[in-house]
Amino acid sequence: MILEGKVWRFGDNVDTDVIIPARYLYTADPAHLAAHCMEDIDPAFAGKVQPGDIIVAGRNFGCGSSREHAPVAIKASGVTCIIADGFARIFYRNAINIGLPLVELGPAVAEIKGGDRIRIDLGNGTLENLASGKQYTIQPLPGFIQDIAKAGGLINYVKGEKA
């Protein structure tokens, strides 16, 4: 799968409360959640994000609450991939489970700026910053987590298993 898009840049410790505040969790409707995505740290985000855009962030992205509403909100806002220095573990699981690709790039995320265009080839494990021309290798997902991702998420994966 090849993804190409414009970068939205965020910092360290972006928690799930700012990704989608609990005051909006009275429903899990993806469109509703997307309308309030990132509202408390960037009120302009939900109105300006375009389908195909990519989020690039620092350390510990998605820390805090286990609310899956957070990756759902990001996915429903049209973002196709999140690249971060690192991810909090529940967020990581949740994103895989709903079929939202994540790339753990490490400190090299510092070289990617807001507005850059980047191109990610998840199949051969490469990431290119089209703005700077820099190329990076991305680690493949381990073991059956790759199978969950390939199935498009956990529910499809479980449905494919024998009961």
Partner 1 sequence: MGMTMTEKILARHAGLDTVVPGQLVKCRVDLVLANDITGAPAIVEFDKIGRPVFDRDKIALVPDHFIPNKDIKSAEQAKALRDFAKKHAITHYWEVGRMGIEHVLLPEEGLVAPGELIIGADSHTCTYGALGAFATGVGHTDAGASMATGDTWFKVPSAIKVELTGKPQKWVSGKDVILTLIGMIGVEGARYQALEFTGPGVAALSLADRFTIANMAVEAGAKNGIFPVDIAAENYLAARVTRPYTAVAADPDAVYERTVAIDLGSLVPTVALPHLPENVKPAADLAHIAIDQAVIGSCTNGRLDDLAQAAAIIDGRKIHPDVRAIVIPGTQQIYSEALVRGYIAAFIRAGAVVSTPTCGPCLGGYMGILAAGERAVSTTNRNFRGRMGHADSEVYLASPAVAAASAVAGHIADPREVMK
Binding-site ranges for partner 1 (CB under 8 A):
13, 15, 17-18, 21-23, 25-28, 39-41, 59-60, 63-69, 71, 86, 88-90, 93-94, 97-98, 142-145, 153-155, 158-159, 161, 163
Residue 2 C-beta: closest distance to partner 1, Å: 26
Specify the residue, 133 or 161, whose C-beta has the smaller distance to partner 1.
161
Residue 49 C-beta: closest distance to partner 1, Å: 19
Specify the residue, 64 or 78, whose C-beta has the smaller distance to partner 1.
64
Residue 83 C-beta: closest distance to partner 1, Å: 17
Q: How many Cβ atoms sit within 10 Å of the Cβ of residue 152? A: 11
Residue 154 C-beta: closest distance to partner 1, Å: 5
Residue 119's Cβ-count burial label (10 Å; 0-12, 13-18, 19+) is middle
The alpha helices in the chain, defined as continuous H runs, are 16-19, 30-34, 45-48, 69-76, 89-97, 143-150, 154-160
CA distance linking residue 62 with residue 43, whole number of Å: 18
Specify the residue, 5 or 86, whose C-beta has the smaller distance to partner 1.
86
Specify the residue, 129 or 157, whose C-beta has the smaller distance to partner 1.
157
| Strands 102-104 vs 81-84: parallel, antiparallel or unpaired | parallel
- Token digits for 17? 């409360």
